Structure 1
């Protein structure tokens, strides 16, 4: 007598299902401050989220700046993701869309009309270097990061702490410090470069 085929044999999960499961798992691990999982989230979603930022911002440099803020938000809020309420990419896309809209409002740009489809530019990927410093900081021991932060000048140190710990945006930081937005962006970038060097030298 021929044995019946076990239930489920031949049922293969679709690539989309596997990708969604991998992203959900990476987000959950990111919520536990797993730096490797955070990099996985970036690898799986950067093209999509950059496309959203680019479509709404309309400027590549602005989109890259916003994307960096988006991943800082993701790093801080990953633990709040609830897979039963939304898909991971929907949750991430909402963060990207809201930050891009905030950027347009802060810079006095009217919101663009919703397109029928994302433009060709939306499939471009962001420069990995834009998040290199963020990824490095995310995977390092918190004590190590704070020790190296203490060696920076006060302006850069306070700005980086506010961005990572308080969830402040560039616009909010600029307003607090009473400096132009471009000056604050340069200050944070310079501080991240200095922090990266301190952390590397301290290894």
Structure 2
């Protein structure tokens, strides 16, 4: 959905959605759901979470279509922004429950207590990296996981962790320095 014609079609559909046209919302969903789901999944990792965020996002698109201003952003950009914000809000809600957050982090990082069959499959470098990650402070490990495993910008990591941007950058910088020292040693 990158051509000018596609953008024009999306714009017309959003205008119809603003008039509470359910068929237009269905057509808009058919045209954009795959890309927006991919965006949500990239941020959230877990499929169930991405599905929930996508549903919430289309509810917001339905409710706020009348507020869309074509001069400010392209239709797909506007919808992507809604999905991104919903996904970050979802991560904040999950982050409020520390045990859930740690479970989420555990799902991001591979287990470094492998059973014998897994041990045979793991490379020596991956095992060493896992050991080195375990030596980091929790905040450093979380910031690095979000920045590098989820490929989130530092600003998003700061929002998710509800920490000043400078602090997050320091955690990442110091954590990477510790990882480098550990891996070289």
In structure 2, relative to structure 1, the CA distance for the partners of 1:52 and 1:15 (3 Å cut) is closer
Q: Distance in 2 between matches of 1:72 and 1:15?
A: 23
Equivalent of residue 23 in structure 1, options 3, 6, 10: 10
Return the match for 1:67 from 15, 32, 54.
54
Pair 1:77–1:15, CA change in 2 (3 A): closer
1:39 paired residue among 26, 50, 54: 26
Corresponding residue for 2:115?
Answer: none
CA distance in structure 1 between the aligned counterparts of 2:34 and 2:50, rounded to whole angstroms: 12
What is the alpha-carbon distance in structure 2 between the residues aligned to residue 35 and residue 16 of structure 1? 25
Taking the aligned partners of 1:56 and 1:64, their CA distance within structure 2 comes to 12
Match of 1:115 among 146, 151, 155: 151
Indicate whether 1:49 and 2:36 are aligned.
yes
Aligned residue in 1 for 2:73: 86
TM-score where L is the length of structure 1: 0.48
What is the rounded CA distance, in whole Å, between the counterparts of 1:54 and 1:83 in structure 2? 26
TM-fit CA distance, 1:52? 0.9
**What's the secondary structure of 2:69's corresponding residue?**
coil
Written as runs of structure 1 = structure 2, the 5 A alignment for 1:1-203 is 16-108=3-95, 109=101, 112-113=146-147, 115=151
Q: Give 1:15 deviation, angstroms.
A: 7.1
Q: Report how many aligned residue pairs link the two structures.
A: 103
**Could you tell me how far apart the structure 2 residues matched to 1:57 and 1:21 are?**
30
User: What is the root-mean-square deviation of aligned Cα atoms in Å?
Assistant: 2.0
Q: What stretches of structure 1 of length at least 5 have no aligned partner? A: 1-13, 117-203
Of structures 1 and 2, the one with the larger relative CO (CA 8 A, separation 6+) is 1
Q: TM-score, normalised by structure 2?
A: 0.52
Q: Secondary structure at the match of 1:83?
A: coil
CA distance in structure 2 between the aligned counterparts of 1:94 and 1:84, rounded to whole angstroms: 15
The change in CA–CA distance for 1:73 and 1:15 in structure 2 (over 3 A counts) is closer
